[in-house]
Amino acid sequence: MPDFAIQTKEVGNGVYMIKVEGFLDAHTFEEMETTINNLFNDNSFQIIVDLSGVDYISSAGAGVFIGAIGTAQENQGNIVLMKPTQNVMEVFDLLGLSQLFSFAEDVPSAVKMF
């Protein structure tokens, strides 16, 4: 199994970016959920998730974002997904989530979506 890694950094004006690498699945989704919840606990609700390094996402991994987007939007924020790989995008399309989320190709484009 590939290594799984998450890094969080502020990219400006209270917007945070979470960079995810590896497989986001039943074994790793809790770490992703904890990372997002920690930002929420700090009153940070404008979140970009860089998925360019995610090789695979399961429905459990996608479920983290489904649960989080509602909380973000209820607090005048949002979750923008950045550069999903083709495999990840196929899962979002299959689950009908492509219409629920905003997608960006780079950080400046993502920041403008808030």
- Structure confidence by residue, pLDDT tens digits, 65-106: 999 999 999 999 999 999 999 999 999 999 999 999 999 999
Q: Is the per-residue pLDDT at 2 higher than 60?
A: no
pTM: 0.95
Q: How confident is the model at residue 3 (pLDDT cuts 50, 70, 90)?
A: confident
> Rounded mean pLDDT of 10-25?
95
Q: How many domains does the chain have?
A: 1
Q: In what order do the strands lie in the sheet with 5-12?
A: 5-12, 15-24, 46-57, 78-82, 102-104
Q: Is the per-residue pLDDT at 19 higher than 60?
A: yes
pLDDT of residue 13: 87
CATH of the domain at 40: 3.30.750.24
Domain that holds residue 107: 5-112
- Measured CA to CA, the distance from residue 38 to residue 110 in angstroms comes to 21
